[in-house]
């Protein structure tokens, strides 16, 4: 199972990559839609074993996010962090979202894909837009683009990118996720052949 399934109380923010320069900066693979908050001074990120990392500053260069953490002041220290995954507590993210809604006057929509956490999808029944049962979501593979692992009715296992064109609807109340797969994406479903899908939009 993925980290999201094993540790539902934590939400992944980034994975630290290679060192940048000589003064402790690191490249990070960011999974957050709010880097200004997560990587700014005052933020606290944690590892699965509760080590704390405090960003001192960050900058964006093209598609890269480059972060400096307090206490990491040279390239040697930065290189030791390569591969470290950092999280925030799920409750913190939910509290921040609730505060933001209160400030803006917006209401919660638990079926909005932008408000659904990956760990909430495991165990949902997958169905096509026409209601055909496609199987169950048995895992969420976390990568640059999250993938839903679908175990189909006869045991085949397929991966579906977690993007709006392919996953247009989530109904947590009824334990359903709607998947609109292009031909060949699922092993056991004869998908429509006249629909073009793009997989470039991340949640």
- Domain layout of the chain by residue ranges: 3-104, 113-178
* pLDDT mean across residues, the chain: 83
> What per-residue confidence (pLDDT) applies to 29?
87
Class of domain 3-104: mainly beta
Indicate whether 75 pLDDT > 90.
yes
Indicate whether 192 pLDDT > 70.
no
> What per-residue confidence (pLDDT) applies to 114?
52
Class of domain 113-178: mainly beta
Indicate whether 31 pLDDT > 90.
no
Q: Which residues of 68-98 are buried (b: 16+ CB within 10 A; e: fewer)?
A: bbeebeebeebeebeebbbbbebeebeeeee
Indicate whether 30 pLDDT > 90.
no
Q: Mind listing the pLDDT tens digit for each residue in 80-121?
A: 999 999 999 988 887 777 776 677 665 555 545 455 666 678
Q: What is the DSSP string of 50-81?
A: --EE-EEEEEEETTEEEEEETT--SHHHHHTT
pTM for this structure?
Answer: 0.60
- Work out the angle at residue 147's Cα, subtended by the Cα atoms of residues 146 and 152, and round it to the nearest 5 degrees: 160
Indicate whether 15 pLDDT > 50.
yes
Indicate whether 64 pLDDT > 70.
yes
């Amino acid at each position: 199972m993925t980290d999201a399934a094993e540790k539902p109380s934590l939400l992944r923010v980034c994975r630290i990559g290679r060192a940048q320069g000589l003064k402790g900066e690191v490249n990070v693979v960011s999974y957050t839609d709010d880097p200004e908050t997560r990587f700014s001074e005052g933020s606290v990120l944690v590892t699965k074993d509760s080590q704390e990392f405090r960003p001192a500053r960050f900058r964006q260069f093209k598609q890269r996010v480059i972060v400096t953490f307090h206490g990491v002041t040279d390239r040697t220290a930065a290189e030791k962090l390569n591969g470290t995954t950092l999280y925030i507590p799920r409750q913190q993210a939910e509290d921040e979202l609730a505060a933001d809604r209160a400030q803006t006057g917006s209401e919660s929509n638990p079926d909005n894909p932008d408000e659904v956490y990956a760990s909430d999808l495991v165990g949902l029944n997958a169905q096509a837009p026409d209601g055909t049962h496609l199987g169950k979501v048995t895992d969420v593979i976390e990568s640059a683009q999250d993938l839903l692992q679908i175990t189909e009715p006869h045991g085949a296992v397929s991966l579906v990118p977690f993007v709006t064109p392919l996953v247009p609807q989530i109904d947590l109340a009824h334990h359903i996720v709607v998947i609109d797969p292009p031909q060949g994406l699922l092993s056991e479903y004869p998908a429509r052949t006249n629909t073009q899908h793009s997989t470039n939009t991340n949640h």
